[in-house]
Amino acid sequence: MKKITLLSVCLLALSMSSCKQDGMLPRDSRVSKLSQFDAQADEIIDQMTLEEKVAMLHGKHMFTSEGVPRLGIADMIYADGPFAIREEMEPHSWNSLHLTTDSSTFFPTGSALAATWSPELAYQYGKGMAVEARLRGKDMILGPAINIQRIPTGGRTYEYFSEDPFLSARLSVGYTLGVQDNGVAVCLKHYALNNQENNRGTVNVIASPRAMREIYLPPFEAAVVEGDAYGVMAAYNKVNGYWCSENDFLQNQVLRRDWGFKGMVISDWGGTHSTVDAINNGLNVEMPNQQYLGQALLDSVKAGAVSEETLNLRVKEILRVRFAIEPIPAEKANVELTAKPEQAQIAYDVAAKSIVLLKNESDLLPINFNKVRKIAVIGDNANRKMASGGVGAGAKAHREITPMEGLQNVIGDRAEIVFAQGYTIPVRNRWSRQPAQQDNSAQLREEAVKVAKDADLVLFIGGNNREIETEGSDRANIMLQGGQDELVKALAEANPNLVTVLVAAAPVDLNVVEAYSPTIVVSWFNGSQGGNALADVLTGKISPSGKLPFTYPVKLEDSPAYATGSYPQTDAPIAEDIFVALVGEKSQDELMNGSSNRTTALYAEDLLVGYRWFDTKNVRPMYPFGHGLSYTTFEYSDLKATKEKYSEKENIEVSFILKNTGKVDADEVVQLYVHRLDATVEWPYKELKAFDRVTVKAGESVEVNLSIPVEQLKYWSEEEYDWQLEHGNIELLLGSSSADIRLSTKVAI
Ligand code: BGC
């Protein structure tokens, strides 16, 4: 029996620069590496003019802020992330420079990485991003994007990790360490509570202090406290009445005072709204313009409205980061192709471990080539590339293997592949005017049915695309578009051997697909190697091992923000997106003065985000958080805690035996949830508190150890303004998903 011991935990941690228990540090134990640059920064500040200081606090170019040229301090150069190093643009516009060297690796997007449930892979991902950023001369990656996926329709669900703070936090730390161990700074975005795209530029989010501390802030807290993140991007929205870019509570109190952040905060693009409040409340750099932190700031300092002491502090916070990151001379940047085979391998590894098998009822997968000689591949997403699209973050991908290319590469002459389009999705970008397209869905469906009838297996490759899931607007609903439901029905009637592959990075309504398709796979926006990874999973070269990082609701209205009526907001119309307005060279004032679009998002579900709601309110999901099947089966046994009672400073240590009872080697993601038995404080029914991805050979068993620091079981007391432990009995629920609990044990804390 193979033993997964503390040693393997430490080996991982060593690769992440220090050995720590289960990847978590106590909240108060951090000293930022940035502090070592204080004296050096002060020395520079002493020699700087007021003008030079102010010059550092706003955008110089679209993705650059100024250093101190006279004193040899280089500019800060930002790279739009979070899943690829964005192409080079003209300094003052969004026009591409059309270089031949700046094609980069397209890494699987956020929810795909999260579906691996692997901080180790998040570390590799961050490392890969950093390596490519260095080749391009970048100092800071604008990522990871780590907001909680509050609504299934959220336009950036594909970029964000998870609906769960603990899973998001572990991945955020992995990504952050991976980037910063390799010489580039991260910029955690979007701080904070940017959980919707509709009216993101104006919405005022009202959330309780406890929901903020326990649900929305932990990924940021962990990346700062454990990952020593050097940069943070203030979100566009307001939180509890104040713009994030001038939010004293978020920036001065929580980020800097409570978490000990020593780095720099930059605004989201066009997200600055004031001079005095922004600078006093913690903003370092207004990006990409200088409407508030340029001349207006200089004037404010001269007039005494902003103290020079505050100005010096903001400069010092930037200089610390500047000293921590070695600048790359311009002549050394961009001299060779950004994308490298090592990064393609990381992109493949992430994609391969992210793919989720939702169900496999007739064992159609893995494809049995003894029976299957002809495969009908149907659907727009079979050939669609997902590196760019919609508004905002995209990759100029060096390569992107589509599902069809992957299938052709991997299947070779083992079977004949025939293709039918099946459906198309009308271009829907809310902010661009497209001519109406002709509806040819009936004809496409008919052609597809013909192809399906004549095949041994049908692979329907549908889902969403980057126009549907996009920054700047949320989806109006989660229905599959372009007549995909009708198509699935027709395909199932033509051929029952139907596998549905959802290339979608957020939940979709599965009522029809579930009823008609015996096998369903989720394949995300899966990066440069996504097609190869998908083909390897479908053909059984590797067993699927991804687990859902969010809940698939039966219907949208079941999900908490919809059920409580707090989303969509009806108090204001949906305004043009702030970023679209910025690119269109409209001033922020033009957007802001249209005050009719000021909307309030009251987070009425409070702590009950995602599965916390479904569990606590007894609402059945379509597929639960943490769900994902394999080509093998796993047996869980012998769950033991080391003690019956744990004190505040201890870790709850549990062990159990995981046996692979099937015929293929595979990974399983084991999940440990905590349920409070005799609580007086209100808690969600259960919460994820530990997990591990474990590789087990067919027929073998391993002992798995999991650890939960009791510290992590505290709640945020609004009365005490502090973390408090509620003593009592808790149940530890061990399972293969949030709804598939295999073993449990009780301990006291
Ligand atoms: C996005 C950021 C992005 C920035 C620069 C904004 O619209 O919200 O995530 O980094 O644009 O492209």
Confidence at residue 394, expressed as pLDDT on a 0 to 100 scale: 83
Confidence at residue 14, expressed as pLDDT on a 0 to 100 scale: 35
Check if the beta carbon of residue 721 is closer than 8 Å to that of residue 712.
no
The closest-lying atom of ligand 1 relative to the alpha carbon of residue 235 is 8
Is the CB of 133 inside a 6 Å radius of any atom of ligand 1? no
Q: In what order do the strands lie in the sheet with 242-243?
A: 242-243, 238-239, 204-206, 600-602
In a 10 Å sphere around its CB, with 0-12 CB exposed, 13-18 middle and 19+ buried, how is residue 337 labelled?
Answer: middle
- Å from CA of 80 to ligand 1 middle: 7
DSSP string, 346-389: HHHHHHHHH-EEEEETT---S--TTT--EEEEESGGGT---SS-
- Mean pLDDT of the chain, nearest integer: 93
For the chain, which residues make up each domain, given as ranges? 6-16+33-332, 355-538, 634-748
**Residue 12: band (very low, low, confident or very high) from pLDDT cuts 50, 70, 90:** very low
Is the CB of 231 inside a 6 Å radius of any atom of ligand 1? no
**Residue 17: band (very low, low, confident or very high) from pLDDT cuts 50, 70, 90:** very low
Give the pLDDT confidence of 581-597 residue by residue, as tens digits.
888 877 666 666 555 55
The closest-lying atom of ligand 1 relative to the alpha carbon of residue 578 is 7
CATH superfamily, domain 355-538, is Glycoside hydrolase family 3 C-terminal domain (3.40.50.1700)
- Å from CA of 477 to ligand 1 middle: 24
Give the pLDDT confidence of 428-455 residue by residue, as tens digits.
655 555 556 678 999 999 999 999 999 9
Confidence at residue 429, expressed as pLDDT on a 0 to 100 scale: 58
State how far the alpha carbon of 13 is from the alpha carbons of 6, 323, 526, 710, in Å: 10, 25, 26, 20
Residue 5 confidence (pLDDT) above 50: no
Domain 6-16+33-332 has CATH 2.120.10.70: no
Q: How far apart are CA 163 and CA 147, in angstroms?
A: 9
Domain boundaries 634-748, corresponding CATH code: 2.60.40.10
Confidence at residue 436, expressed as pLDDT on a 0 to 100 scale: 62
The closest-lying atom of ligand 1 relative to the alpha carbon of residue 391 is 7
Give the pLDDT confidence of 330-370 residue by residue, as tens digits.
999 999 999 999 999 999 999 999 999 999 999 999 999 99
Q: How far apart are CA 34 and CA 190, in angstroms?
A: 22
Check if the beta carbon of residue 156 is closer than 8 Å to that of residue 142.
no
Give the pLDDT confidence of 212-269 residue by residue, as tens digits.
999 999 999 999 999 999 999 999 999 999 999 999 999 999 999 999 999 999 999 9
To test the pocket of ligand 1, the residue of 200, 269, 286, 591 to mutate (highest count of ligand atoms within 8 Å of its CB) is 269
Phi, psi of 576 (to 5 degrees): -60, 140
List of E strands, 629-739 = 634-641, 651-660, 666-676, 687-696, 701-709, 715-717, 722-724, 729-737
Tokens standing for residue 38: 């204080």
Residues 6+ apart with CB under 8 A from 390: 155, 429, 466, 467, 469, 470, 471, 472
Confidence at residue 592, expressed as pLDDT on a 0 to 100 scale: 64
Q: What is the average per-residue pLDDT within 157-181?
A: 98
Give the pLDDT confidence of 548-570 residue by residue, as tens digits.
999 999 999 999 999 999 999 98
Is the CB of 395 inside a 6 Å radius of any atom of ligand 1? no
Q: Which residue has the higher pLDDT, 576 or 34?
A: 34
Q: How far apart are CA 188 and CA 82, in angstroms?
A: 10
- Å from CA of 2 to ligand 1 middle: 46
Active site amino acids: 268
- Å from CA of 420 to ligand 1 middle: 37
Confidence at residue 688, expressed as pLDDT on a 0 to 100 scale: 98
Confidence at residue 235, expressed as pLDDT on a 0 to 100 scale: 98
Residues 6+ apart with CB under 8 A from 720: none
Is the CB of 286 inside a 6 Å radius of any atom of ligand 1? no
| pTM for the predicted model, two decimal places | 0.95
- Å from CA of 597 to ligand 1 middle: 21
3 state SS of 115:
helix
The closest-lying atom of ligand 1 relative to the alpha carbon of residue 80 is 10
Is the CB of 683 inside a 6 Å radius of any atom of ligand 1? no
Containing 520, the helix (H) or strand (E) segment is strand 519-522
